[in-house]
Amino acid sequence: MLKLAELYAATAEYTRPDYVKKASAEDFGVGFPAGRDQVPKIGNEYFPIHTRAAVWASAARLLQKRAVATHAPEREQLNEASLAIEKRAQYFGIDGDLRKLVAEYVFQLTPSREGDEGMRNEDYAYVRKTAGEEIREYPIKKEADVRAAAEYLQKYADSFSLPERRMMSRRILLKSGNLAMEFDSDTQYFLEKQAGQGTCSTEAAADLLRTRSEVWRKNLTPFQLTTKLAQLIEHVANTPQTEVGAMNLERDKLAEFIDHWDTEFEVKHRYGKDIERPEDVLFSVTRSKLAEARNNLVQTQAGEMFDRRDLAKLDYDKVAAAIGEDWADACVKNGSFDHNELADLIPTIPRPDMAQLSTLIKSAGVQPVAYAPEARPARRTTAEWLALCHSVSTQNP
């Protein structure tokens, strides 16, 4: 039997997407015979999954039942139902909404540490206005709160939009500074990237866009989007590295642009597999990372700064082919190639040779960590990418 009242009541406990708010009784399963577009029966209750709203509502109801389930057979049934609902959510393209639902459910299970009285906006990681009402979530008044909020955001990052993660991370970092507390290096790095408090080479930013042009290729039919993407690639690729300050705001906008179309084209499930999150590239060189790497930086005569540890990706044959055996021989220590010897030599390598070596280093997936003020990398042509974007708009998916 479908318990519509219980199903709909379950949705009221969470922040409902618009398609759930506007759903009709039929969208939730009224009028459909039991067993049709349903997940396995649990007790005397079916969970409809024939529409987006039904999938989301069934997930909310399932979370309620999971919280009180005590017997192993029932828990096993709930796990089977969860898999069916997750699969259907992917079909409707709302798996991101389900992750956010689960994140909200988990946070509601966290005991409240204190009342709202005396709490200011700065004591919350999430502050937003909805229909004229101010909503404040995830308290960060005390150090324990701040650490809990940071851990929560790190665990459920994909449940929030990029602007939401940026806002929350910035508030958490600001509060941690006010409380004179420190995070472990991984958490600090994560928060700084999410907050947009970092930079990257213009080459890395342009390469990110070029990669996305391939990932989105079959979807790039709107002429305006292909034109905008082409313009972005050209602009980023031709921005002098020394103008990093002017690029900061643009990186925020660029990250949001990529995040938006990753969502529209449903490729976020590939994050961490074959494509990178925009913030992991655009804000990869954070203040904490730069400080951590400072003692390991080596600077070329052209002003590029590499982390010596990254040079371990090179070997004798590659270096010899790029700049000659004499230089490669100078990097041999105790009978084998030593990347630290190469690092020590880099400041002395003449610009023409270093240009060849720099190309080799970048081909190994290593980008400069920073640039000296006088460094201005040569602008790269974008003709082939403009042509690609044009061809995308004229081809069928």
Residues 187 and 204 in one domain: no
138-172 burial, b at 16+ Cβ within 10 Å, e below that, comes to: bbbbeeebbbbbbebbbebbbbbebebbbbbbbbb
pTM of the model as a whole: 0.55
| ∠ CA 143-147-150, rounded to 5° | 135
**Residue 135 forms part of a structural domain:** yes
Residues 297 and 159 in one domain: no
Q: List beta partners, residue 332.
A: 337
Domain of 24, in residue numbers: 4-108
Residues 270 and 295 in one domain: yes
Structural domain total, the chain = 3
**Residue 300 forms part of a structural domain:** yes
pLDDT at 317: 94
**Residue 116 forms part of a structural domain:** no
**Residue 126 forms part of a structural domain:** yes
CA separation (Å) from 231 to 162, 210, 215? 23, 12, 18
**Which of 108, 132, 162 lies at the terminal end of a domain, its last residue?**
108
**Residue 114 forms part of a structural domain:** no
**Residue 113 forms part of a structural domain:** no
Residue 208 near residue 258, CB atoms below 8 Å: yes
Residue 140 near residue 124, CB atoms below 8 Å: yes
pLDDT at 390: 47
In order, the DSSP letters of 304-355 are: EEEEGGGGGG--HHHHHHHH-HHHHHTTEETTEE-HHHHHHHGGGS-HHHHH
Residues 160 and 258 in one domain: no
Q: Which residue is associated with the tokens 């701040």?
A: 146
**Structure-token pair, residue 49:** 């999954």
pLDDT at 241: 57
Main-chain dihedrals φ then ψ at residue 368, nearest 5 degrees? -60, 140
Q: Which residue is associated with the tokens 């930086």?
A: 297
Residues 149 and 98 in one domain: no
Residues 261 and 358 in one domain: yes
3-state SS assignment for residue 137: strand
3-state SS assignment for residue 139: strand
Instruction: Give the distance, in angstroms, between the CA of residue 273 and the centroid of all CA atoms in the same chain.
Output: 12
Instruction: Give the distance, in angstroms, between the CA of residue 35 and the centroid of all CA atoms in the same chain.
Output: 38
Residues 89 and 132 in one domain: no
29-53 burial, b at 16+ Cβ within 10 Å, e below that, comes to: beebeeeeebbeebeebbbbbbbbb
Residues 280 and 386 in one domain: yes
Average pLDDT by consecutive 10-residue portion of the chain (397 residues)?
A: 58 79 75 53 72 86 72 73 84 84 67 56 79 77 88 83 89 90 91 88 84 79 69 76 51 86 83 88 82 79 87 94 92 92 92 92 84 51 46 43
Residues 371 and 306 in one domain: yes
Distance in angstroms between the alpha carbons of the first and the last residue of the chain: 43
Residues 158 and 300 in one domain: no
Residues 165 and 213 in one domain: no
Residue 382 near residue 237, CB atoms below 8 Å: yes
**Which of 57, 74, 108 lies at the terminal end of a domain, its last residue?**
108
Closest alpha carbon to 314 in 298, 290, 302:
298
pLDDT at 329: 93
Residues 87 and 214 in one domain: no
**Residue 115 forms part of a structural domain:** no
**Residue 144 forms part of a structural domain:** yes
| ∠ CA 267-272-277, rounded to 5° | 65
**Which of 194, 221, 251 lies at the terminal end of a domain, its last residue?**
194
* Beta strand ranges found along the chain (DSSP E): 38-42, 45-48, 124-130, 133-139, 198-199, 285-286, 297-299, 304-307, 332-333, 336-337, 370-371
Taking the C-alpha atoms of residue 157 and residue 25, their distance in angstroms, rounded to an integer, is 33
Q: How many CB atoms lie within 10 A of CB 197?
A: 17
